[in-house]
Amino acid sequence: MAHMKNFNRREVCAGLSAAAVIGMTGVRMSEAQGTVVAVAGNGLAQSRVFRFAETPASTMPNGAERREMAKGTLATGEAISLHESVQPAGLPPNPAHVVQHSEFIAVLAGTLEYKHDGKTELATAGDVIYVAVGTNHAVRNAGDVPAKYVVLQISGDTK
């Protein structure tokens, strides 16, 4: 079996940031010509800055706030969605749910309790949670300050 490198938090966060930036380009290589062309109708067809202040917030079923920052298709064909959520302390979790895509959840502030596969794990600022396709899971703020996190959804039922 080949040796696999263990990544530290800084490397994982840098990789997630790079993946998000790469996803924001929204271009595809033309197989016939080997040239780059914009993907029509793709929210990520051009490089840009997604401004937090210009992104409307929505309220999740448990009262937490969510901002849909970016959505579209990568040049390699994977659909992605990137959103930021803030869960105030003391709120109940959103109901457990099964996803048909992969997710990375980067915890920016606070502490999240991640329930999945019969386990409960805590993730604090700097930690990254991985949710595999088909996982029944829930996250909740397990601390006494707001929990802020960014979710990168990849492929599957991501639209």
Sign of CA dihedral 55, 79, 22, 94: positive
Contacts of residue 56, defined as CB under 8 A and 6 or more positions apart, other chains included, come to 67
Asked if 141 and 112 count as a contact pair (C-beta separation under 8 A), the reply is yes
Q: Which CATH superfamily is domain 9-154 in?
A: Jelly Rolls (2.60.120.10)
- Cα Rg, the chain, nearest whole Å: 17
If pLDDT is split at 50, 70 and 90, which confidence band does 9 have? low
Q: Find the angle CA(108)-CA(112)-CA(113) to the nearest 5 degrees.
A: 160
Q: Residue 26 CA to chain centroid, in angstroms? A: 17
Q: Where are the domains of the chain?
A: 9-154
Q: What is the pLDDT of residues 16-56, one digit of tens each?
A: 544 443 343 333 333 333 433 444 456 677 788 888 898 89
Give the tokens for residue 10. 């800084």
pLDDT value of position 20: 44
Tell me phi and psi for residue 12, to 5 degrees: -65, -45
Q: Where is pLDDT greater, at 118 or 7?
A: 118
* CB 52, CB 100: distance < 8 Å: no
pTM listed for this prediction: 0.72
pLDDT value of residue 48: 80
